[in-house]
């Protein structure tokens, strides 16, 4: 298992490369060009700037998260081919600097959704929280108004500058069915995967978060059955998974350890984190420790160990602890603790061989 750590770039992250390099076992960064809009070709000078920064601290840049997929591709519009060509060119450029994995998602409109970025836990730490009653039965066409009126709804990446696009997007998705989304994903994969294989980069799709439909929008990467269907769309080892235990784990019927054991040879990237699910289906993110949440982190790490996993893994979201001021879910301290928890499990399993 190769341990990596997500970094949002100088001036855009409270965590320094120096601090990341001090976490035991961390070999590289998980990075992206966050100022490049979805669908645009990534400029080589900006890619090389990140590589230079990482090299100066002895860290590799093997994993990119994410090269975002333009909505026109998900919608299946005629304009999608232009954005797919830009995606192919970006893959080629990333290969030139040694990138081995690209994480992406195929979630319509929104990536992960939370209703509270700093919900307090019993110990006084805070974490990302999802309260279903604030999401369910909301007319998506009213959503823009609710956010504009300073609602406590939080739509990551959509406020304030992208807010004006929501109404148009909801209109475009109004008649898009789940099967339409599957078809559009297959079209994208058939174009992209041969290019990824040629340049020795594995594509790892991220599950939907949370793993069920939101605002009437179709969501497809939600469970074991759909993962199997996804992998069969283009049956190629370069068409792989970013298996996120927290995203899939928000549905208690998903057994993440079993998924690791079944799909290990197609997992390009492992996101390991924990959530606590309440009786009404709400959930909050917790420490990585198994006993603190509803996801069996011990069994997940054990499954990766059993399968001899040599891919990339990172601690996903963490709590905000010790009064750290940070990007929601991405503080240094709790993610570093999560790494040490995972290494503790891994090392103990190594001793049992």
Catalogue the active-site residues: 206, 244, 271, 316-317, 330
Which run of H or of E encompasses 174? none
The H or E element that residue 73 is part of is helix 71-75
The Cα 285–Cα 335 span in angstroms is 12
Going from the C-alpha of 279 to that of each of 26, 207, 216, the distances in angstroms are 36, 23, 23
Pairing state between β 312-315 and 2-6: parallel
* CA atoms in the 13 A half-sphere facing the CB of 134: 16
d(CA 318, CA 329): 5
DSSP SS3 for 259: helix
342, 24 contact by CB (below 8 A): no
Closest C-alpha to 210, from 338, 115, 87, 340:
115
Paired tokens of 262: 């079944």
Contact 287, 334 (CB under 8 A): yes
Backbone angles phi, psi at 325, to 5 degrees: -100, 120
Residue 84 near residue 188 (C-beta atoms within 8 A): yes
* CA 272 – CA 333 distance, rounded (Å): 16
Long-range contacts of 36-39, Cβ-Cβ distance < 8 Å, separation of 24 or more: 38/68, 38/69, 38/70, 38/71, 38/83, 39/68, 39/70, 39/72, 39/73, 39/82, 39/83, 39/86, 39/87
């Amino acid at each position: 298992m190769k341990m990596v750590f997500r970094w949002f770039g100088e001036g855009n992250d409270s965590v320094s490369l120096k601090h990341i390099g001090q976490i035991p076992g961390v070999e590289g960064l998980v990075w992206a060009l966050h100022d490049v809009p979805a669908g645009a070709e990534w400029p080589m000078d900006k890619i090389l700037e990140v590589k230079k920064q990482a090299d100066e601290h002895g860290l590799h840049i093997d994993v990119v998260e994410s090269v975002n997929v333009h909505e026109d591709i998900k919608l299946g519009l005629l304009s999608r081919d232009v954005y797919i060509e830009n995606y192919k060119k970006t893959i080629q450029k990333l290969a030139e600097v040694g990138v081995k994995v690209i994480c992406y998602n195929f979630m319509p409109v929104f990536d992960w959704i939370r209703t509270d970025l700093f919900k307090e836990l019993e110990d006084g730490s805070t974490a990302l929280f999802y309260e279903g009653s604030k999401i369910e039965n909301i007319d998506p066409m009213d959503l823009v108004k609710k956010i504009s009126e300073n609602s406590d709804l939080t739509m990551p990446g959509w406020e304030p500058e992208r807010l004006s696009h929501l109404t148009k997007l909801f209109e475009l998705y109004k008649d898009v069915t789940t099967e339409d989304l599957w078809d559009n994903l297959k079209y994208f994969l058939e174009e992209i995967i041969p290019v990824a294989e040629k340049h020795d980069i594995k594509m790892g799709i991220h599950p939907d978060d949370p793993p069920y439909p939101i605002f009437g929008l179709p969501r497809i990467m939600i469970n074991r059955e759909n993962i199997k269907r996804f992998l069969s769309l283009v049956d190629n080892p370069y068409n792989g998974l970013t298996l996120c235990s927290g995203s899939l784990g928000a549905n208690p019927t998903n057994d993440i350890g079993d998924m690791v054991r079944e799909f290990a040879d197609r997992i390009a990237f492992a996101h390991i984190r924990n959530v606590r699910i309440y009786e009404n289906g709400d959930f909050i993110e917790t420490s990585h420790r198994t006993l603190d949440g509803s996801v069996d982190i011990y069994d997940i790490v054990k499954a990766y160990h059993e399968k001899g996993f040599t891919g990339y893994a990172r601690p996903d979201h963490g709590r905000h602890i010790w009064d750290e001021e940070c990007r929601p879910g991405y503080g240094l301290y709790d993610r570093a603790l999560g790494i040490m928890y995972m290494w503790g499990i891994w090392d103990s399993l190594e001793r049992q061989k």
